[in-house]
Amino acid sequence: MSPLQRAARKKNLLLAFDAYGTLFTPKAPIAVQYGEIARRHGIEYPSDKHLSQAFKGAFKEEAHRNPNYGKASDMGAETWWGNVITKTFQPFLKQDQDFPKPLISDLLARFWSKEGYTMYPDVLPFFQMLRERKAQPVASHPWTWEKTVVGVITNSDSRVPDILESFGLRVGPRRVQNSTFRTGEASIDDDISFVVLSYDVGYEKPDKRVFEAATYMLKETLAGDSKEAESQSIDDFDMLYIGDEVEKDIFGASQAGWNAVLVDRDGSYTQHLPGHHSVGRVPVQTTYNAEGHVVEKHIDVIKDLHALSSWPMKTE
């Protein structure tokens, strides 16, 4: 039965989000922003289309040469992105033109904060609602979970926490496989208790080990809550993942035993819901089966994060 249709639920919720495409998105296409800064450094190129193709090629080449943003080769994300930037613009340099090294630092600075991104308009109000919920009894608030622990699970590198904080969200210190961050104490004022990065885990969604890492982070978060450590158990939590990609996010989370809901940022799915509803179920075609055949599955979708207050919906 669909998570959105289950009447029974647990009293607490682990609510985890994808980042890119779910919470924030580039202010303008990558090629446009890259080109804007490149021109300041004297680099010209035929068109945004040419630059976009160069970026995709450079990204693919670097990902093959140094997987997981260079983590396996102990390169570090900044050096990895520097290689991508260099390879992107190398074809457009004039004869005897040196590559402008400050271009790398300028682009890194832009895409390491909100300067290069915009947050979807429902995100900050949703987190404000969760803040208000902490100060109100269950009966008087539409968000009726007794306790909500929020995490982020994303196929990305160490930029994500900084980007989220630049938008004004309070992000806790807990990370995977980093003793310094893992022992950091969470605060009741944190909007996001922990961040699980594919860079830290060593695997990317839809690999279930990424979601298992988040479950372990929940255990550590509960253990670090000195006020309620003895009274709380991971068994009291439903696991819900919110993302914008069907294969990596929805099917990946489902295969890991989580509930999963797709937030439909471009309206391509929710436009088919009856009565202009903001939450429901839609069919999708996928090859996500053992034989690789195309099959149809139904997924749960929401128009925006405000609709999460309706999860799970009761069966009519």
Domain boundary among 86, 117, 148: 117
Q: Residue 225: what pLDDT?
A: 63
Within a domain: 243: yes
C-alpha 27, offset from chain centre: 16
Residues 236, 162 within the same domain: yes
Within a domain: 173: yes
Within a domain: 316: no
Residues 134, 217 within the same domain: yes
Q: Residue 228: what pLDDT?
A: 57
Within a domain: 298: yes
Average pLDDT over residues 242-263: 95
Within a domain: 297: yes
pLDDT digit string, tens, across residues 30-60: 999 999 999 999 999 999 999 999 999 999 9
Q: Which of 24-38, 208-222, 270-284 has the lowest mean pLDDT?
A: 270-284
Q: Residue 188: what pLDDT?
A: 63
In 3D space, the residue among 171, 172, 239 whose CA is nearest the CA of residue 210 turns out to be 239
Residues 13, 37 within the same domain: no
Within a domain: 245: yes
Read off the CATH number of the domain in which 59 is found: 1.10.150.720
Residues 94, 195 within the same domain: no
Residues 131, 187 within the same domain: yes
Q: Residue 8: what pLDDT?
A: 56
Residues 202, 280 within the same domain: yes
CB 182 within 8 A of CB 199: no
pLDDT exceeds 60 at position 314: no
Domain boundary among 93, 117, 141: 117
Q: Which domain holds residue 52?
A: 30-117
Residues 166, 203 within the same domain: yes
Residues 71, 197 within the same domain: no
pLDDT exceeds 60 at position 215: yes
Q: Residue 115: what pLDDT?
A: 97
Residues 106, 255 within the same domain: no
Who's near 208: CB < 8 A, 6+ residues apart? 252, 255, 256, 257
The mean of the pLDDT values for the chain is 88
Within a domain: 315: no
Q: Residue 7: what pLDDT?
A: 43
pLDDT band at residue 4, thresholds of 50, 70 and 90? very low
Read off the CATH number of the domain in which 142 is found: 3.40.50.1000
Domain boundary among 101, 117, 133: 117
Residues 207, 300 within the same domain: yes
Q: Residue 315: what pLDDT?
A: 40
pLDDT over 90, % of the chain: 65
Q: What share of the chain is helix, strand, coil (3-state, %, to 5)?
A: 45, 20, 40
Q: Residue 5: what pLDDT?
A: 44
| Structure-model confidence comparison of residues 116 and 174, the more confident one | 116
Within a domain: 174: yes
Q: Cα–Cα distance between 129 and 143 in angstroms, integer?
A: 8
Residues 98, 111 within the same domain: yes
Q: Residue 162: what pLDDT?
A: 96
Q: Cα–Cα distance between 68 and 131 in angstroms, integer?
A: 34
Residues 150, 273 within the same domain: yes
* Edge-to-edge strand ranges of the sheet holding 259-263: 171-174, 192-197, 147-154, 12-17, 237-243, 259-263, 295-302, 279-286
Q: Residue 295: what pLDDT?
A: 81
Number of domains in the chain: 2
